[in-house]
Amino acid sequence: MDFGLTDEQQMVQDMARNFAEKEIAPYVEEDEKNHYYRREILTKMGELGLLGWTLPEELGGNGMGWQEGCIALYEIAKVHTSWRLAISGNNWGPAMTINEYGTQEQKEKFIPGLLEGSLVGSFAITEPNTGSDVASMKTNAVDKGDHWLINGTKTWISGGHTCDVGLLYAVTDKGKGNKGISCFIIDYNNTPGVERIPIHDKVGMWAAPTSELIFENAVVPKENLLGELNKGFFICMWQLNNTRMGCATGAAALSRACLDGAVQYATERMQFGVPIGKHQMIQAQIAEMIIEDEAAKQLCMRAAWLKDNGLPSQQAVSTAKLAGCQAAVHGANLAMKIYGSYGYSDEYPCGRWLRDSKQFETLEGTSNMHQQIIANIELGFAPNR
């Protein structure tokens, strides 16, 4: 087993690291303070091919796979967690799902813009009373002959009020549970009947826009149905097994940011005449962070390798997501302890790390749900897709 990077992967890592340091790092604290989203960063990512992983070159893909995508996302999210959403929101969410289930016309209309960054993407699943239980959603789409009429509310949608195009999951056959849900492509700039409301009161992810979407007799063209009618639940689960790679990688990257920061501080901060890193309790905390961080990163790369090779990956993705979440939350807590009183100050990034880490416990499947997925597959109660 080779744990090294190929020349091409090393190139990807260097490019993503340089981009993050040049284009994202200078604005992190300003954007956090102002809760500001810089759309131009997404466009620049598209220009460099950082949104084109796993998709065909004829549609704007970059010809590289999951492993390369995770390597790039890791470098970006390590600098600012909010920007890990760009790859999931454009690439591994809408673009990849449209490529898998869409018509040729849908692919040509939407995918190139999503990959070049001229379009901002999103996907809408969660509702005020629908989280882990996707089949309980109430947003509905009614066939009106020449169009669909959509009514309902989605909430906690990443990029919901800033996006141009997104996937929407809605009920098309009431009373059939997960067998009555369909997926639609929404052109938000040309769809009447949609109100998009920013959600500002969040614990973290302040530079990543989050929204509530209200559909009131929204008119959607018939040709914007994605895949087969009433097959939306299956499409949704397929999509989540891809976008969760973004969660897993982003969590692992945040864990690494906490570790790097704690190590730097522990070598600079002096107490009792020596750097605090010389004290055994600090060393024990650093060691804990290293173990969890390395495990999270390797589990991400294993899941990416499985996906690149067309092998069942659902259990591996959930394992990587859960491990990354635990490493990020624990790493942020330990970093704040190591920084001491300064960790509680806005002078250092510990508060941001801790706020941002908590998202991973609920986003795209709670930790409880991922424990169930992992265990049910291992016990043979569910297939590993």
- Which residues are known catalytic residues? 364
| Residue 135 burial (C-beta neighbours within 10 Å; 0-12, 13-18, 19+) | middle
List 123's β-bridge partners, or say none: 167
Rounded to whole angstroms, what are the CA distances from 173 to 132, 169, 176, 244?
A: 20, 12, 6, 28
Query: Rounded to whole angstroms, how far apart are CA atoms 314 and 295?
Result: 18
Q: Are 49 and 280 in contact (CB under 8 A)?
A: no
The residue count for the chain: 385
Rounded CA Rg of the chain: 21
User: CA 132, 197, 169: angle at the middle one, nearest 5?
Assistant: 40
User: CA 156, 203, 97: angle at the middle one, nearest 5?
Assistant: 30
DSSP 213-237: EEEEEEEEEGGGEESSTT-HHHHHH
